[in-house]
Amino acid sequence: MPFFITAFSFPATLVFAGLLGALLTRLFLPGLMGMIVEAGFVRPNFRGEVIPLGVGLVFSLAAVACIVLLYPFLPGQLQFFALAFSLAQAAFTCLGLVDDVWGSRNASGLKGHLQCLLQGRLTTGALKALAGGGLSLFLAAAAGPMVWVPVNALTLALSVNAINLLDLRPGRAGKGFLLCSFLLFAAGWGQWPLVFLAVLTGSVVAYLAVDLKARAMMGDTGANALGAALGLTAVWVLPDGIKLAYLGLLIVLHVVAEKYSLTNLIARSPLLDRLDRWGSDRR
């Protein structure tokens, strides 16, 4: 087995991957933010300050760069996971970027985008749903037995959209991702595909400060990348029963989000509201 796996224990490998993801993110972030501002791809934050949008591109950049560096040292089985993870990062990030660049607020929610599609109007949200659904089916078919393809595809697709649902306040999507990541580490401990999630976890930790201080927006570009990492990891490492429970929670979240404002629900809970505001400048 290659040196990279035999030289480190499982926990040490996760730490190494996380640190590498964080380092690459810190290296890429200033230049990426400057490039986006220079291109004029900016939006006002809640204080009215103009800040760069789509900075979450740094997640997939760091993830793919890290995988390129580690790939020669991975055993054959992990190389397959590395390629699938890279494909998911690149494709879902591109779909998010399309929504950030060309998306409008004329339709919102999955129901709204589907209604537009039935009326013969293609929105970026509907495009994300169609293309993301197809990509989820492809990755699910490669992930395991065919009988589990519907469950795995739904798990991936709804994970991607779940982080998008959270990305309405500074830092919320990043905190949600970190919480879900730690739960996946606990539930799937000892399984080597977690090394790729560790890269994204380190990347988010390195990025989160600029989001919390409302100096950058990850946008759907970043939310898609984080959701894809969670969903694909859940498909790979969760036992069947826990995976079904996780999918059930995702379905409940989406049903609730279609009927109610998640922001209002969070604000009504003192604990959730405190966690939501932690580290940010919001009062």
Q: How many domains does the chain have?
A: 1
Nearest to 234 by CA among 195, 181, 190, 177: 181
> Would residue 238 count as lying in a domain?
yes
Q: Which domain holds residue 187?
A: 3-277
Q: Does residue 215 lie in a domain region?
A: yes
Report pLDDT for 247.
Answer: 98
- Is 227:235 a contact under the CB 8 Å cutoff? no
Q: Give the residues of the chain that fall short of pLDDT 70.
A: 1-8, 104-113, 282-283
What integer pLDDT is reported at residue 3 of this predicted model? 46
Residue 109 resides in a domain: yes
Strand 42-44 with 50-52, pairing: antiparallel
- Closest alpha carbon to 127 in 99, 161, 157: 99
Entry pTM: 0.92
Rg of the chain over all Cα atoms, to the nearest angstrom? 18
pLDDT at 121: 76
Residue 192 lies in a domain: yes
Q: State the Cα–Cα distance between residues 61 and 25, nearest whole angstrom.
A: 8
pLDDT at res. 2: 46
Considering the domain boundaries, does residue 282 fall inside one? no
- Confirm whether 209 is domain-assigned: yes
Please, what is the angle between helix 219-237 and helix 194-212, to 10°?
150
Q: Is 283 inside any structural domain?
A: no
Give me the pLDDT at residue 1, please: 41
Q: Which pLDDT does position 111 carry in this prediction?
A: 66
